[in-house]
A and B are shown apart, each in its own frame.
Chain A
Amino acid sequence: DAGITQSPRHKVTETGTPVTLRCHQTENHRYMYWYRQDPGHGLRLIHYSYGVKDTDKGEVSDGYSVSRSKTEDFLLTLESATSSQTSVYFCAISESTGLGQETQYFGPGTRLLVL
């Protein structure tokens, strides 16, 4: 499974609280991504990183921030969780040279419920 882990795997939190999800890879891949998956919407890109401290926004970035201080770790933070952020969050990695044209491998996912 491409050496990708996510933590926690399940989380229940309350509206207004901060939440941080972690993605860890052992493949030393340059590119890392955060997606959310919701019924009827498929997978949508939140943020991605193309190197240490290099990140950029995706399609649905509002309400989320990310950080990458080491090649192997990519953190997704919900500064103040809302019920609309209840979702399944997937991390992905690739050796993309840019323009998203290389294979992406997904982590096991984190199921987040915001009450």
Chain B
Amino acid sequence: GENVEQHPSTLSVQEGDSAVIKCTYSDSASNYFPWYKQELGKRPQLIIDIRSNVGEKKDQRIAVTLNKTAKHFSLHITETQPEDSAVYFCAAPGGGGADGLTFGKGTHLIIQP
């Protein structure tokens, strides 16, 4: 099945700076890569996703890049704000069966004022 590795586990940045979270995956057949944001005590919320027919996707301050050859994808957040503080999860298809998602273990992003 799929294996997803996510780094770093904790990331602290100054407000206004950029943050980058990286994930690698193992199954070369995977072609859909979502990113979820989870605030304390809340459900994971999709913030952006990318499919393998594109190398980059942007939505305001958030962007995701995909390198299929190297089997890694990254989340980029620019001009970070206090409300960006949360845990971020990457995922790829293949949760131990033919369906579902395999998630990385999460990155706790801390925005320092």
Chain A: interface residue total (CB-CB under 8 A): 31
Query: How many residue pairs at the A-B interface have CB separations less than 8 Å?
Result: 86
Contact A101 B32 (CB under 8 A): yes
Contact B99 A98 (CB under 8 A): yes
* Alpha-carbon separation in the docked complex, A48 to B93 (Å): 13
Residues of A contacting B89 in the complex (Cβ-Cβ under 8 angstroms):
42-43
* Alpha-carbon separation in the docked complex, A60 to B97 (Å): 10
Q: Which residue from chain B places its CB closest to the CB of A40 in the assembled complex?
A: B105
A-B contact pairs, 30 of them (CB 8 A): A33-B100, A41-B105, A42-B104, A43-B89, A43-B101, A44-B95, A45-B96, A45-B97, A45-B102, A48-B95, A48-B97, A58-B96, A58-B100, A59-B95, A61-B96, A90-B43, A98-B99, A99-B94, A99-B98, A100-B94, A100-B101, A101-B32, A101-B93, A102-B32, A103-B34, A103-B46, A103-B49, A104-B46, A104-B101, A107-B43
